[in-house]
Amino acid sequence: MIDVSELVYEYPTARALKGVSLHVAPQTITALVGPNGAGKTTLLRCLAALEDPYSGSVTVAGHDTRLEPRAIHALLGYLPDFYGLYDGLSVRRILTYTAQSHGIVSALTTTAVEKAADRVGLFERLEVKAGDLSRGLRQRLAIAQAIVHEPKVLLLDEPSAGLDPQARRDLSVLMVALKDAGMTLVVSSHILAELEDYCSEMIIIEEGKIVGGKAIKVKDVERPRYIVEIANARSDLKDFLSARAGVDVIEADAYHALITHPRSASARARLIRDLLGAGFEVSSFGESTKALEEAYFSQVGGSGKTGMGQ
Ligand code: ATP
């Protein structure tokens, strides 16, 4: 859906992207992470056809950003990290204006506006002026603006900034719903634990370059990672698990193993039964929730280097 080849971008005083190449598959949610100043916003602006590369190319759904920016704007939603809203206009007026500027015909505008407002929890506030909204509610309005025309590709720069915990959770659910409805999403954020909830791929950018040269698959929906913990030390834990059908052992010691395994309750039950039958005192067996964080720190070599506190 998105292809970037040897992208170089320069500000008058700095080279912000230094030869970035990447591929984003359709109907995926990709996390874009990296320290402050790494180039995330610049990359998103290039993907959104808002900046022309110094060299290299960016194509979105087959359209080159340099040659067909308007075709890309029509199929893309973009939430910038900083944006302005017309404070004197109501939520409804703002979304109506955005919908019509994307070419949604008048007869369909009300439905599109109300659907977008509902998706971000602003339906009850459709008549409230943007200037009277709190920071988090303004952020929700900006997200609604980015999705009102049901884009094929959605780029979100720090979408959860300013949102309360419930709104953050709702945003995670919304992202997955948008992906399931067919959208391709790229989301920049510093909050790795949150990205974990909905991203399957991660692009790490540092000093204008992609770390490791490509996106990393952090979550396999079909084969998630599980952590097996046993109460009695057994040096044969790894060998035992490796010999089971469908199990891949990522790492193991005498008490723990990190494995991938098909997402099937009956297959998990069978594996636990096998372990208990062989005398392994299973004290816990659960899905690993830190895949993205682990992958990030294994790539960038520790929090001290990245300056990422979360
Ligand atoms: P953050 O996490 O802090 O938002 P970022 O990863 O989004 O950072 P960018 O905003 O893309 O990083 O900045 C990449 C580099 O380009 C930085 O070195 C930044 O100082 C520089 N830069 C960004 N905008 C400009 C500008 N308008 N003029 C000159 N340099 C800029």
User: Residue 219 pLDDT > 80, yes or no?
Assistant: no
CATH class of 2-217: alpha beta
**Structural domain boundaries of the chain?**
2-217, 225-300
Closest atom of ligand 1 to 43 CA is 11
Please state, for a pLDDT cut of 90, what percent of the chain lies above it: 67
User: Residue 95 pLDDT > 60, yes or no?
Assistant: yes
Ligand 1 centroid distance, CA of 31 (Å)? 18
Nearest 5°: the CA angle 31, 4, 183 is 50
What pLDDT does residue 306 have?
A: 35
Tokens of 71: 């075709």
CATH superfamily, with its number, for domain 225-300: Alpha-L RNA-binding motif (3.30.70.1560)
Determine which of 84-93, 145-154, 204-213, 290-299 has the lowest per-residue pLDDT on average: 290-299
Strand order in the sheet with 248-252: 248-252, 256-260, 225-230, 282-287
CB of 106 within 6 A of ligand 1: the answer is no
Q: For ligand 1, atom 27, name the residue with the nearest CA.
A: 11
β-pairing verdict for 63-64 and 55-60: antiparallel
Rounded to the nearest 10 degrees, the angle between the axes of helix 91-101 and helix 135-147 is: 30
Phi, psi angles (nearest 5°) of residue 283: -100, -20
pLDDT category of residue 291 using cuts at 50, 70 and 90: confident
pTM for this model (two decimals): 0.81
Residue 310 and residue 304: Cα distance in Å, rounded? 11
Q: For ligand 1, atom 21, name the residue with the nearest CA.
A: 16
Using alpha carbons only, how large is the chain's radius of gyration in Å?
A: 22
pLDDT tens by residue, 167-203: 888 888 888 988 998 999 999 988 887 888 788 888 9
What pLDDT does residue 301 have?
A: 56
Residue 215 and residue 21: Cα distance in Å, rounded? 10
Residues 241 and 252: beta-carbon distance below 8 Å: yes
